[in-house]
Amino acid sequence: MTAFHDELTPLVESAAKATAYKWPSYVSAEDVQQELWLWAYSSQNSIETARKAGDWEGKVYSTMLKVASSAALKEDSETNGYSTEDTYVYSVEVLETLLDSAFTYEDWQSFGTFGDGQPRAKGQVNETGDVLAMLADVKAGLAGLKKEYREVLFYRNGMHLTFPDVGAAVGATDKQSERRHKRAVKALRDVLGRVDLSDLQSGHSSRRETIGNGHARAITDRQYEG
């Protein structure tokens, strides 16, 4: 056995055991260990660099727990027939549809007029339908993102700029702005959270389904008009 293998073995075994304990019995510590060793040897150069820096065990172990959790989730999804993307309340696809409307939040939250021409306040989102609730979720989620992600989403989805123009606005190339936009959407997905895995394991999910822009606007217009 190499020194690399010997030093990592306690960490691999501990991370695998701790992770498997949190999952159903079909997620075994042995399978998780195998995934961790695959990761460790594919990341050997980075781990060796960390080992030389000192105080490396905690950092490597923390990363191992994330790798182990991903491996367990993959095993669970294959057993129960869902995709790992299904674990998020909002998929990337749904968010990309909603973001085009989310930046006009102030418009659809404003007052409308009723039959007598007098202004009437909008109802609460939980009273006015699913699309408004989804848009409110996205708007709240945007506030939880770091500035550079909010900026690229605003320029792309709020102002509908091309990626070259987004890049010019944020001081990046068009390719860099496109990659940053993809990371921003995924960061927003993460902020908005995950569904209860027990729902997915039993074949049900509370995640938001895809809606088209036209459908979303039509429903929003009907709700706005009362």
CATH of domain 87-225: 1.10.10.10
| Residue 104 CB partners (closer than 8 Å, separation 6+) | none
pTM: 0.59
Where in the chain are the domains? Answer: 3-80, 87-225
Residue 18, SS3 per DSSP: helix
pLDDT tens string 87-120: 788 888 889 888 988 887 554 444 333 344 443 3
169's enclosing H/E stretch is helix 163-170
Question: What tens digit of pLDDT does each residue of 132-168 get?
Answer: 788 888 988 999 999 999 999 999 999 999 999 999 9
Q: Which residue has the tokens 């091309």?
A: 162
Q: What are phi and psi of 113, to 5 degrees?
A: -115, 145
What digits encode the pLDDT tens for the residues 35-90? 999 999 999 999 988 888 878 899 999 999 999 999 998 888 888 888 777 778 88
Res 222 pLDDT > 80: no
